[in-house]
Each structure stands twice: as structure tokens, then as C-alpha cells.
Amino acid sequence: MTSSAVIPAHAGIHSCRVNVRTRRLRSFAQWIPACAGMTAALALAVNASAATLTLGVVQRADDERLAPQRVELAYPGQPGGPVHQAVEMAVQKNRFELDAAKLRVSIDVRAARSADEAKAMLQQLAKAGAAGVVLDLPAAWMTSAASTVTLPLLNAGESAEAPRQHGCSANLFHTLPSERMRADALAQTLLAHRWTRVLLLHGTRADDSTRLALVQAALKRYGLKSVAVKPFRLSADPRDRDLANPLLLTGAAAGSDYDAVWIVDSDGEFARTLPYRTALPRPVVGDAGLVAEAWAPHFERYGAPQLARRFARVAQRAMTSFDWAAYMAAKALLQAALEQASGPTAAQVLKALNRPDFTLDGFKGVRLSFRAWDRQLRQPLLLSDGVAVVGSAPVDGVMHPNNVLDTLGTDAPESSCKAAL
């Protein structure tokens, strides 16, 4: 049936050429509609013969991170919009290769309000024959849902360590950098500048406590000293004055002299007010000042400007780390599918993603690959002050016996992920 659908279209184009040669048309304009119709028929025939590749996107419903008032403030390290926009762009960018392979892509976007809903959606996508799913879900939702399906899942929206360690699954990959990767990148940068004495400021949320522990581990890993650890709290209560004033938090009461202030603020509201308001003239790093991110829209090397401009045209906003991670997740699924001879299945895509030689171009100057132990995408991180990219990590001089990119995040001997390949 596929062949018979294509043949008449080719025959029609041939007939059109014959008519131009043999008939006396009053004008060339009379020929254009006739051949345009034949071309449309050919396109329909080709589409009819194409196999359908379904990519799922499961994201959070009513995502408070995407509330308009928060998005407008553009806090560092926060998403700027739904990740499905980057998935759509990845499909558009691979259109030529997909057409050549006779693959038609269908993107199935779903929004979950709970872990149970996320689990049900993944099961429905697996039953419908999806080749893979891009996720933007909380860590707890992912870890409970991932083990219920066997299709490849690519996390583009959660940086917590849990889904990469004790909550890992053999089919769960991560394109967004982990919090430990970001902490290691900044610790390496401080070490390279010999800013070895660090004042730590942190919020009181549960996420802040978890991330603070990772920062302290990174400082220890690179031989840096924490001179003091102080909590902050945004409050209008006069009794909390000492916990909300940057000058008081970073003044003499903070302890001995320090070379840098590291701010851990998952919300971002306090962090944005800290640079240039410290008691001592010192750099601020972490969630304000100098930040380590997967992506910065003003990165100017390795073809990054073209990617950033393309996304800005599609989404009408700047590309964030979350968008880059979603783009890379979709790109990985498409590349793995295109490597298959015909009719790629979820099992074939999963096998391709797990191959040691499976690599991706992430517009960062090196080929990127997934780690075997926690399925985290190896990648350099960009160091940005919000205006320009001022450097990258791993920094020069940091060494590793196998791959210097593995100095960012949990290395193989430290991993607690026990999921079998």
C-alpha cells in the first residue's frame, strides 16, 4: 500500500512535465497551480508512508515556578517557561533527518498534578507505544513513577540528587545538571581564584538545607574553608532583623575575614538583593552573583548564538538551563531513534542511550555522554553573572583519571545508584 501511494504522485509530476512540453498553455501561470497540486499529492503520499514516532512530555500542572510574577523577575537558575517548547524546537531542527528516515514525530504533552497522575500518564504513554518521555516533575514523583515503566525517561526539570542516587532507575536519564554538579563547578572556580575562605548564607526551606549540605561537601572536596554558616529569613518581623539584613549577615558578627559569600536560596528572592550589599567588598556566588548553569542565553561560542536565537523565535523568550536540558533530552531521543533501521521502539532507543559511544553535540565545545552509573549527562557548566558568560567548569588544572567532566557531580566510586543496566 505504501508503494502504490507513492507511485501515482511521481506519475503525476511526470504528467505535469509532459503537459508543459506538449500543450500550448496561454501562460506559465496556468502551469503553476497544476504542478502545485501534484507536489501536494506527493507530499501527502510521503507522509502517508512515514512511520510515527511518539515523544511524550510530562510536566507539572499549575507550576508555581512559572507564575507570571516570578518569571518576570528572571531569578538565576529558575525556569522561564514550559519545557515542551524546547522539545518542539528539537523536532523542528531535526526535520530534515526525520524526513529522510521517513519518521513523522508526534509530541504528546501532558500535565500531572500528583505522583499518581504522573505514574498513570507514563503507563498510558508506554501502552500507546511512545519511544521516550521528557520529564519536568518533582524528584519524588519521578522516583515513584519511573520504575513502573520500561520506556526511556529523560529528566529535564529536576536537579535534586535523589533521582540520580538511591532513587535512580535503569531507564531514567538526566540532562539537567545536578545540584552537586553546580556546587562542584563553583567550588572549582573559587579554588582557581584562591578564594579559599567562604561565608555561607542559606535559607530555611527544606530544599535549602539539602543544597547547603551539597555545597559544604563541595567545599570539603576542594579543600576550601567555611568560615561561618548563617541562616537568613525574609520577614517583616522586627525580631528577624538580623536574619534579613545583608550588612548584618556579612558584617563582623559573621566571623573572620572571608574571600567570597556563597548564597543558597532556592526561592531566589533574598539572593537577588545580596550582590554589592555585603559588609566587605567580596564576590557573591551560588544563587546570585556568579552562578553555574547548564545554559546562558548570552553564550557566544560553539554555535550557541544560533541555538539561542532559534529558541527565542519559537518561544518568544530567552533560553534557560531547563529549556536547554529539554532540548537535549528530545535531541537524545531523536538521535537514538534515527540510528535504528526502521520503526524504532522504546527498547531500541533505551539500548542506544546506554551505549558507551552514544554522544551528543550540546553547543558547548565537547561531545556529551551519559554516565553509566547514574545516567547523568556529562557536560561543562557555564559560569555567568547574568550579563555574560565569564568562564566554564571544569576549570583548567582540575584532573580526573578518565574524564575531566566527571569532576562535576557524583563520580562512579561515590555513586549509590544500584539500578542495573
Mean pLDDT over all residues of the chain? 86
Q: How many Å apart are CA 372 and CA 355, to the nearest integer?
A: 9
Please tell me the class of the 181-293 domain: alpha beta
Specify the pLDDT at position 240. 67
The string of pLDDT tens digits covering residues 307-346 is: 999 999 999 999 999 999 999 999 999 999 999 877 789 9
Specify the pLDDT at position 239. 66
The string of pLDDT tens digits covering residues 213-272 is: 999 999 999 999 999 999 998 766 666 666 788 998 998 655 578 999 999 999 999 999
Q: Which of 61-65, 69-73, 222-226, 365-369 has the lowest mean pLDDT?
A: 69-73
Task: Look at the alpha carbons of 234, 238, 239, 243 in this order and tell me if their dihedral is positive or negative.
Answer: positive
- The average pLDDT across 344-371 equals 95
| CATH for the stretch 52-177+300-307+318-385+399-414 | 3.40.50.2300
Whether the per-residue pLDDT at 420 is higher than 90: the answer is no
**Within this chain, domains 52-177+300-307+318-385+399-414 and 181-293 share the same CATH topology:** yes
Specify the pLDDT at position 373. 95
Specify the pLDDT at position 49. 61
C-alpha cell at 78: 529558575
Whether the per-residue pLDDT at 292 is higher than 90: the answer is yes
The string of pLDDT tens digits covering residues 157-179 is: 999 999 999 999 999 999 999 99
Whether the per-residue pLDDT at 31 is higher than 80: the answer is no
Q: How many Å apart are CA 249 and CA 151, to the nearest integer?
A: 49
Can you give the pTM of this predicted structure?
0.86
Residue (of 195, 151, 198) closest to 170 by Cα position: 151
Name 264's bridge partners. 202
Q: What is the 3-state secondary structure (H, E, C) of the chain?
A: CHHHHHHHHHHHHHHHHHHHHHCCCCCHHHHHHHHHHHHHHHHHHHHHHCEEEEEEEEEECCCHHHCHHHHHHCCCCCCCCCCHHHHHHHHHHCHHHHHHCCEEEEEEEEEECCHHHHHHHHHHHHHCCCCEEEEECCHHHHHHHHCCCCCCEEECCCCCCHHHCCCCCCCEEECCCCHHHHHHHHHHHHHHCCCCEEEEEECCCHHHHHHHHHHHHHHHHCCCEEEEEEECCCCCCHHHHHHHCHHHHCCHHHCCCCCEEEEECCCCCCHHHCCCCCCCCCCEEECCCEEEECCCCCCCCCCHHHHHHHHHHHHCCCCCHHHHHHHHHHHHHHHHHHCCCCCCCHHHHHHHHCCCCCCEECCCCCEECECCCCCEECCCEEEECCCCEEEEECCCCCCCCCCHHHHCCCCHHHCCCCCCC
Percent residues over pLDDT 70 in the chain: 85
Specify the pLDDT at position 1. 32
Query: 363's torsion region: left (phi>0), alpha (psi -120 to 50) or beta?
Result: left
Residue type, 287: D
- The average pLDDT across 131-147 equals 94
Name 391's bridge partners. 383
Specify the pLDDT at position 297. 87
- The average pLDDT across 99-114 equals 94
Specify the pLDDT at position 75. 84
Specify the pLDDT at position 415. 93
386-399 CB burial, b ≥16 within 10 A, e <16: beebebbbbbeeee
Whether the per-residue pLDDT at 35 is higher than 50: the answer is no
Residues 6+ apart with CB under 8 A from 172: 142, 146, 153, 155, 163, 375, 419
Residue with the larger pLDDT of the pair 18 and 274: 274
Whether the per-residue pLDDT at 417 is higher than 80: the answer is yes
